[in-house]
A = this chain, B = another copy of it.
Amino acid sequence: MTSSAPSTSPTLSTAELIALRDSARSDYAKLVERGLSLDLTRGKPSPDQLDLAAEMLTLPAGGHRAADGTDTRNYGGLHGLTELREIFSGLLQVPTAQLIAGGNSSLTLMHDSVVHAMLSPLPGAGRRWADEERIAFLCPVPGYDRHFALCERFGIELIPVPMTAQGPDMDVVERLAGEDAQIKGIWCVPKYSNPDGVCYSDETVRRLAGMRAAAPDFRIFWDNAYAVHHLTDTPVEIADLLALCAESGNPDRPFIYGSTSKITFAGAGVAFFGSSPANVSWLLGHLAKSTIGPDKINHLRHVEFLRDEAGVLEHMRRHRELLRPKFDAVETILAKELGGTGLASWSTPQGGYFVSLDVLEGCAREVVRRAAEAGIALTPAGATHPYGDDPRDSTIRIAPSYPGLEELEAAITGLTVCVRLVATEKLLESAR
């Protein structure tokens, strides 16, 4: 996924470095003078992506009845509308009967899963997590800051695991999960991962499903946020975790999440939870105490608009038309400005919402700071790591989706100036 690994000692002479730094300083001064105000921080759909679903604002147009006659306006129906779950069953690799359609946020479903595990024993658990001395989660890094924040909020210890091009380093995962019964979970974004666009290989998924876990209540938090968010003609398929877990005798291991936040409306989509029958009953039993049911009108609205699985894929093709030029622009500018310099490497994702930029060790924070001074807002360096601590201080997450193409190009070009400036200053400093 990564075009080249950044070296900490590019083969440039001191004179060449000084020339590079001086030109970067001059470019940076001009950049600051432009007084930009650009934002690459969050993976938000752009207004024109949201416009693709404009029709939804005034749906449902066909009345308020679900396929089975349910009045979607009234209370009830904890599972969510069957016809909506049917549309997403194949896409999320969860049988319809084991798939719950909820409110507008999959993060909420992840949060609620942790909350209920804190306060009630999971299937297979001896006791609730709140009564454990210590709980830990494995966190493949770089990863998603909101996963980490959710765990930190509950005092759950975060253990980083290195990512490879095939997913988390499974030798490390198997060793840690196999020996430490206090490790209760692992965060996974298995397809087009946030931020580096990795897709888990079949072998990785198979090992996750089949490995020994010391904790009887170990769970894989499978945040399949980008299941259909392809950027190429050859959509990536990942292995079926739920089926593999069941085949391996670990049916209750996966908690699967998805949503339409980046399909229809980011703030008004529908979130999904899928798992084994035992886990689904466990969650529904607790949800029943906190709600009389999700917003079924919004479910119906989604069914009318998306129609079926093919409708989802066709809609995603239109998103791709808007997103692909932005990702191409990022790749083109990074290659033009930083290619062959040895000062940075970056991912070229085949889907999802992010590009991961790796700068020389010890430079990421300074690059983000310099960019901010030039009016280019980036996700804080370190956010991709537990506790905001990237020990190499080298990963920067780029979110190209929200700005317009021209703004994006200006921001990425400016960012490369900051990378050249900080890297050359650093190299010259350590050469002294």
Contact = CB atoms under 8 A, between A and B. Distances in A.
Q: Which 7 pairs from chain A and chain B are nearest by CB?
A: A111-B290, A268-B297, A58-B58, A73-B265, A50-B73, A153-B289, A75-B266
Interface stretch (A11-19, A41-49, A309-317, A424-432): A41-49
Contacts of A64: 50, 57
Contact of A298 (B149, B290, B291, B298): B298
Interface in A131-155: 146, 149-150, 153-154
Contacts of A146: 289, 292
Contact of A104 (B71, B149, B295): B295
Given A57-B63, A73-B266, A104-B294, 20 more contacts: A42-B75, A47-B71, A50-B64, A57-B61, A57-B64, A57-B297, A58-B58, A58-B60, A72-B267, A73-B268, A77-B267, A105-B291, A107-B291, A111-B289, A118-B130, A146-B289, A149-B289, A267-B294, A267-B295, A268-B298
A386 interface: no
Interface of A: 42, 44-45, 47, 50, 53, 57-61, 63-64, 71-77, 103-105, 107-108, 111-112, 115, 118-120, 130, 146, 149-150, 153-154, 261, 265-268, 286, 289-298
Nearest to A285: B153
A217 to B, nearest CB: 17
A131 B325 CA distance: 53
Nearest to A42: B75
A74 B267 contact: yes
B265 A107 contact: no
Contacts of A108: 290-291
Contacts of A105: 290-292
Nearest to A46: B74
Contact of A119 (B76, B118, B120, B298): B118
A73 B73 CA distance: 21
A177 to B, nearest CB: 24
A75 B44 contact: yes
A267 B289 contact: no
Contacts of A267: 72-77, 292-297
A268 B296 contact: yes
A73 B269 CA distance: 9
27 contacts: A44-B75, A53-B73, A57-B64, A57-B297, A72-B268, A73-B266, A73-B268, A75-B266, A77-B267, A104-B295, A107-B290, A107-B292, A108-B290, A108-B291, A111-B289, A112-B290, A118-B119, A119-B119, A130-B130, A146-B289, A149-B289, A150-B289, A153-B286, A153-B289, A267-B294, A267-B296, A268-B298
Stoichiometry, as copies per complex, reads 2
Nearest to A262: B75
Given A265-B73, A268-B295, A119 B154 contact: yes
Contacts of A45: 74
Contacts of A290: 105, 107-108, 111-112, 150
A191 to B, nearest CB: 20
A118 B118 CA distance: 10
Nearest to A59: B58
A292 to B, nearest CB: 7
B154 A44 contact: no
A268 B104 CA distance: 12
In this complex, the member of A61, A74, A118 whose beta carbon has the largest number of chain B beta carbons within 10 angstroms is A74
Contacts of A104: 103, 291, 294-295
A89 to B, nearest CB: 22
A410 B42 CA distance: 59
A53 B72 CA distance: 13
A195 to B, nearest CB: 17
Given A60-B57, A107-B292, A111-B290, A74 B266 contact: yes
Contacts of A50: 64, 71, 73-74
